[in-house]
A and B are shown apart, each in its own frame.
Chain A
Amino acid sequence: MTMKIIVGCKLVPEEQDIVVQADGSLDVSRATPKISPFDLNAIEAAVEVKGLVGEAHITALSVGDKTLENSKARKDILSRGPDAMTAVMDDAYTHLLPEQTAEVMATAAREIGFDLILCGDGSGDLLAQQVGTRLGALLDVATLSGVSKIVSADNGKLVVERALESEVEALEVTLPAVISVSADINTPAIPGMKAILAAGKKPVGTMTPAALFVEKGIAQGTASVELLETKAPKQKERLNVMIEGDGEDQIAELVSHLRKILN
């Protein structure tokens, strides 16, 4: 029997490209979309599970706006191991909150069918760390977060480890399940040329909220959290004492300042 795996994959703006504007607001318009870092670990974990069970089909599931049309990003996702990709796209999905993302993913996952859903512990932008666990609860299946090791996998169950504050738990999870993985579970492999070329030939399906919710008469829930403001924090006022040059006198001046700080 082929195990059906879905792996959650979010595109986030490359944080190094985000520009902080004078009023503290963020300009992400010029930031390249990239796969959210934890999701790279989730994809790698999906590939690992596939290796353990033998026969498995991996679908990458992404929810977002038109950014998901970016063919480079799609290829990047597919070159890392998924056999297919499903993108749930809508203009209103630009700044979805975790509860809404989980709801869309749950509906799409039911449509696709699954034995196991793998997610990253949190996304590179909001890092709310809610989607995977909420998804599990919405689908009413076993769910775990912070998974740092997959010990064994077969068609019926997984044995995994997760690290808590002061202990490591070994846990047996009966499928179907939603598992969120931590960044230390693996080191995502860098796709080779062959994988990149093959990625272009893998199927990509799209879904819309109209097909997922409206046509089926399913109501989409209203958000229970409102994002009021996002602003860069003010930098602390600094003394800005400058010493120009690295001669003996200048270094001695720096040493005297450091002595005061260190005492």
Chain B
Amino acid sequence: MSKIANVWVFSDVESRQAEVLAGARELGEVVSAFVIGTDGDVAKAYAQGADKVYLLGARETSRIVEDYADTMAKAISEAADSALILLPGTRCCKALASLLGVKLKAGVVTEAYDVTVEDGGVTGKRMVYGGLAHGQEKVASPFAVMVVSGGVFAPESEDAARTGETINVEFVAPKAAIKCLERQPKQATQVDLGKAKRIVSIGRGIAKKEDIAMAEALGAAIDAELGCSRPIAESEKWLEQERYVGISGVMPKPELYLALGISGQIQHMVAANSAQVIVAVNKDKNAPIFQYADYGIVGDLYKIVPALTAAFGEK
């Protein structure tokens, strides 16, 4: 894999900066980081792999991150005729990507889970149709913007001794500024199937809402989160959207995915594909889910589920 001469990096979320800097080092020769903040933040960027820091100054509370788009575009275009800009998939960085796309006439690939450089060109892979298919997009413009998903690049270990050239950048005010009136810390959502190690997931095989308790009991016995297929969340609305496993819902990566009465439509199975082990309970021997399962049992879930709960309840 060849390398890009200049790679630029920015992250508005501190925890995502190390991974994009690591990615930039992997893909490029000279790594420049934009930093909004103070000397401590500059030192952090060097420690995480930046060769140069373009310091945008301390954050002004009335400004939003995207207000720096003109400033960044100016610095990038003045430094060289071509470059790769690598951003993490945060809300603000996604918006920045599009703004830089227009200002630098750059091709933008969002939510890339794989980035490669060949013959000086950058290609990103990303999911389309909600994960049903994977698309490969090649940027043809001199400036390329890649917005990467979490976990694509592993952060390098920090080296506090690293340092480099710091350039102070003057703020270029956007024509139509947006004024931030207030910032409030956000309440975290309670359900996060994305982090669940075990999931008990229910589908159409569950006849009525009251029967969900049975699946919950099994979930409690094996320490699993409750998930569901599309009809349970969208048609019946028995469970909240956060529990819906599907291409337009959650795509979890559990160690165990235990599917109860789920037929196994492709859109559901694509979403569950990252599970290490899939176990399926279904009364229909010909249900597609069995093709995607490591272990499958053909039988009545109303008999099997309580038996499993009993077996794992006694520890």
Contact = CB atoms under 8 A, between A and B. Distances in A.
Contact of B184 (A18, A37, A168): A168
Contacts of A169: 64, 180, 182-183
Interface of B is mostly: mixed
Size category of the B interface is: 35 or more
Contacts of B273: 233, 235-236
A224 B140 contact: yes
Contacts of A92: none
A171 B179 CA distance: 6
B297 A172 contact: no
Interface of A is mostly: mixed
A225 interface: yes
Given A18-B132, A168-B184, A241 B295 contact: yes
A257 interface: yes
A243 interface: yes
Interface string B197-220: 010000000000000000000000
B98 A137 contact: yes
Contacts, number: 254
B132 A171 contact: no
Interface of B: 12-13, 64, 66, 69, 90-92, 94-95, 97-99, 101-103, 105-111, 123, 127-141, 175-186, 198, 222, 247-248, 255-256, 258, 265-267, 269-270, 273, 277-279, 285, 290-300, 303-304, 307-308, 311-312
Given A244-B298, A254-B304, 8 more contacts: A15-B267, A24-B133, A165-B91, A171-B181, A235-B292, A238-B291, A238-B292, A239-B293
4 smallest CB-CB distances across A and B, nearest first, come from: A246-B299, A224-B107, A224-B141, A133-B98
23 contacts: A16-B265, A98-B98, A99-B107, A125-B128, A126-B135, A127-B127, A132-B98, A138-B102, A168-B185, A169-B182, A174-B178, A226-B137, A228-B123, A229-B136, A230-B136, A238-B291, A239-B295, A240-B296, A250-B297, A251-B311, A258-B222, A258-B258, A258-B295
